[in-house]
Amino acid sequence: MSFWVRIEIGSQGRAPIDEREGSAGFASGSARVWSGVPLISLGGRGCVAGYLFRRDHPCGRIFVLDEDAIDKAIATHGASLLTDYWGGYVALVESDNGDVHVMRDPSGLLPCYVRHGQDITRLASDMTELAKPGTATVNFNVLAKWFASIDALGRQTGIAGIEELLPGERLTVTETGTRTSLAWSPWDHFPSRYRRSFADDVDALRAAVKMSVGAWTTCFDSILLGVSGGVDSSIVAAAAMPRTPGLRLLTFVEAGTEGDERRYAEALAVKLGASLAARDFDLATVDITKPTLPHFPVPLALPIFQAIETTHRDEERCKPIGAFFTGNGGDNVFCNMHSAAPLADRLIANGPTPGAWLTARDLTDLTGSSIAEVARCGWQRLRDRREPHLIRFDLMGLTPRAATAAIAEDDRHPWLAAPPGALPGQKAYVAMQARGQKSVELYPRRGRAPQIAPLLSQPIAELCLSIPTWHSVQGGRDRAVARSAFAVDLPPLIADRRTKGSPQGFLRRIFDAQLPAILDLLRGGRLVDAGIIDPLFIDRAGEGVWRDDGRDLRILTFCAAETWVRWWEGGGASNDSTAAE
């Protein structure tokens, strides 16, 4: 089954007439819904498109809601789905007064983009359903924000006129227009007082992860899980294995570099009794002049994904893949925080107790900083606790015009608006969770298996929000609660690992091998024409004196964006299989 949705909502009394998909799964006087997954009916008043699971134990997938649940969902404009269930879905509910509400669940696992028309509001899980390459207009200001900081991205996408309905948001279409509101907010899930012990948090997180990951595994016959040898993907594997004996693990290898994660992945496979494929990154599969996953709302995908897709297609030829599972979002949900914010949080919450001293010691072990430096930074965080979350901008290679657009506060993620009294670590943690939801896209959902990031599931996210930030650094380990929760399931090589692999070596190979083509692509390209990147920065790209300061990755990021822009403006590439399906 394809995990996609398309919705059309007409002005009241005037139903949309587009029937490209044939008969809609749901149809009313003002709305139509098409979905690749069977719709869950809300009577004649709406439906749920996607996957829905019970909150109660044992957790299971919901295919039919009873009459009371339907009435409750209608009365609350879908909000009861957030409290009584969880999943990856978009729900449509019609009110008595004719208003139509569309709500996206907090995990964001089913993307949802919106285009407002004069008579019809259209929503879809794929950007190409709402904008046609060749006629689309690129919003270069959004691209400038993306280059500067992922935290600067809000609802706007890189295509003018298309917005994202963010996870947990509700779009309401009325007789006079539309409005967007938060149906779910992370700020509602921080406790007024932290009461659980570290051990209690460990037990609760283990249960939430095993339940959520296990529920997702029941939805697909064949699952390919990418494992990096890191904690997050390993936890997904450990939670999935008991209910998915046919789970396949895949790791990518860049031999001789930190991108060679085979010994970690092999230790995991042996521990779990799972099959593992190790595939080398193949430079011959990458052409930086071609677009990489151009259907993304902004050019997030680096050229490395061309090599990944080639391997995925090889794996699909060996055995059908029902879903690509990933540990993406684990760093964010499990609060992989390397700052003094947890110390400030503990001081504010509990005062200068011996526990605060222990947290300071934990942070010195974690960060390698001196106790004096940790105390100084913790005091600064405490002193600035009333300030909003600080977005750190990287303006390298951008023009002054682009820099101005990047730091403009015209479109901010609503979660970054912290309520009074929010702790410094809570502000940073909420930004981390919002950041993690930018990693749910992979291939166009019409013709390819979906990517599922189960660690972003609502029960896990809500549970983690209730855990104090200082527990996440206990013992001088990042993601300490998650590590402890699955220590028995993981090989010590992974559970105690403090380093992290990276595909940086392969990215460097791409850069070195294709530098002439890179320079030709960018010089006089659309990003230069639009005044986004500084042409002098491009001219210095071949100078070896700066090759270890991150500018090679910056250049590759610009390349990915350049091909993304050309694909949308030029009508798409006929040989680009990822976009055409």
Average pLDDT over residues 388-417: 95
Residues of the chain by 3-state class (helix, strand, coil), percent to 5: 45, 15, 40
Q: What is the pLDDT of residues 62-89, one digit of tens each?
A: 999 999 999 999 999 999 999 999 999 9
Q: Say whether pLDDT at 527 is over 80.
A: yes
Confidence of residue 53 (pLDDT cuts 50, 70, 90): very high
Query: 268, exposed or middle or buried, with CB in 10 Å at 0-12, 13-18, 19+?
Result: buried
Query: 514, exposed or middle or buried, with CB in 10 Å at 0-12, 13-18, 19+?
Result: buried
CA distances from 200 to 194, 204, 207, 237, 482 (A): 12, 6, 11, 23, 12
- The CATH class, in words, for 5-184 is alpha beta
Q: Say whether pLDDT at 581 is over 50.
A: no
- Region(s) of the chain under CATH 3.40.50.620: 198-333+434-495
Q: What is the pLDDT of residues 448-492, one digit of tens each?
A: 999 999 999 999 999 999 999 999 999 999 999 999 999 999 999
Closest by CA to 246, choosing from 206, 274, 204, is 274
Closest by CA to 471, choosing from 462, 481, 463, is 481
Q: What is the pLDDT of residues 218-257, one digit of tens each?
A: 999 999 999 988 999 999 999 998 777 779 999 999 988 8
> Are the beta carbons of 173 and 121 closer than 8 angstroms?
yes
CA distances from 491 to 65, 241, 406, 494, 496 (A): 41, 15, 43, 6, 9
Closest by CA to 95, choosing from 28, 14, 165, 48, is 28
pLDDT at 282: 94
In the chain, % of residues over pLDDT 70: 95
Q: Say whether pLDDT at 20 is over 80.
A: no
Q: Which tokens in the block code for residue 18?
A: 């587009």
- Enumerate residues 6+ apart whose C-beta is below 8 A from 266: 276, 278
Half-sphere exposure of 358 (CA within 13 A, CB side): 13
CATH no. of 198-333+434-495: 3.40.50.620
- Cα separation, 157 vs 299, in Å, equals 10
**Which residues on adjacent β-strands are paired with residue 533?**
398
pLDDT at 547: 60
Q: In what order do the strands lie in the sheet with 5-10?
A: 26-27, 31-35, 5-10, 120-124, 113-116, 162-164
Confidence of residue 548 (pLDDT cuts 50, 70, 90): low
> What does pLDDT average to over the chain?
92
Closest by CA to 164, choosing from 104, 254, 78, is 104
**DSSP helix/strand/coil, 385:** coil
pLDDT at 544: 66
**DSSP helix/strand/coil, 336:** coil
Give the β-pairing of 323-325 and 5-10.
Answer: unpaired
**Which residues on adjacent β-strands are paired with residue 41?**
47
Average pLDDT over residues 350-378: 96
Sequential DSSP letters for 275-331: EEEEEE--GGG--TTS-SSTTSSS----THHHHHHHHHHHHHHHS--SEEE--TTHH
Sequential DSSP letters for 442-495: -S-TTTSPPEE-GGG-HHHHHHHHTS-GGGGGGGG-TTHHHHHHTTTTS-HHHH
Helix axes of 504-522 and 304-318: crossing angle, nearest 10 degrees: 120
Give the chain's largest Cα–Cα span. Answer: 69
For the chain, first and last CA: distance in Å? 15
187 CB neighbour count, 10 Å cutoff: 15
Helix axes of 198-217 and 458-465: crossing angle, nearest 10 degrees: 170
Q: Say whether pLDDT at 575 is over 70.
A: no
Q: Which tokens in the block code for residue 437?
A: 């939801």
Sequential DSSP letters for 434-453: HHHGGG---S-TTTSPPEE-
Q: Which tokens in the block code for residue 104?
A: 């996206």
Distance of CA 325 to the CA centre of its chain: 13
Question: For 104-113, 272-281, 356-365, 565-574, which range has the lowest pLDDT when averaged over its residues?
Answer: 565-574
pLDDT at 541: 79
Q: What angle do CA 418, 419, 422 make, to 5 degrees?
A: 80
Question: For 253-262, 294-303, 347-356, which range has the lowest pLDDT when averaged over its residues?
Answer: 253-262
Q: In what order do the strands lie in the sheet with 248-253?
A: 275-280, 248-253, 223-226, 323-325, 451-452
- Cα separation, 378 vs 380, in Å, equals 5
Q: What is the pLDDT of residues 406-417, one digit of tens each?
A: 999 999 999 999
Question: For 178-192, 238-252, 334-348, which range has the lowest pLDDT when averaged over its residues?
Answer: 238-252
Average pLDDT over residues 3-28: 76
Q: Say whether pLDDT at 576 is over 60.
A: no
Q: Identity (one letter) of the amino acid at 229?
A: G
Confidence of residue 533 (pLDDT cuts 50, 70, 90): very high
pLDDT at 243: 75
> Are the beta carbons of 28 and 94 closer than 8 angstroms?
yes
pLDDT at 7: 97
Count of residues in the chain: 581
pLDDT at 577: 41
Closest by CA to 219, choosing from 49, 110, 62, 105, is 62
Average pLDDT over residues 276-294: 95
- Region(s) of the chain under CATH 3.60.20.10: 5-184
SS in 3 state form for 88-133? EEEEEEECCCCCEEEEECCCCCCCCEEEECCCEEEEECCHHHCCCC
pTM score of the predicted model? 0.95
Q: Say whether pLDDT at 335 is over 90.
A: yes
- Enumerate residues 6+ apart whose C-beta is below 8 A from 552: 507, 508, 511
Closest by CA to 184, choosing from 284, 87, 57, 253, is 87
- Enumerate residues 6+ apart whose C-beta is below 8 A from 210: 239
pLDDT at 504: 87
- Cα separation, 107 vs 50, in Å, equals 12
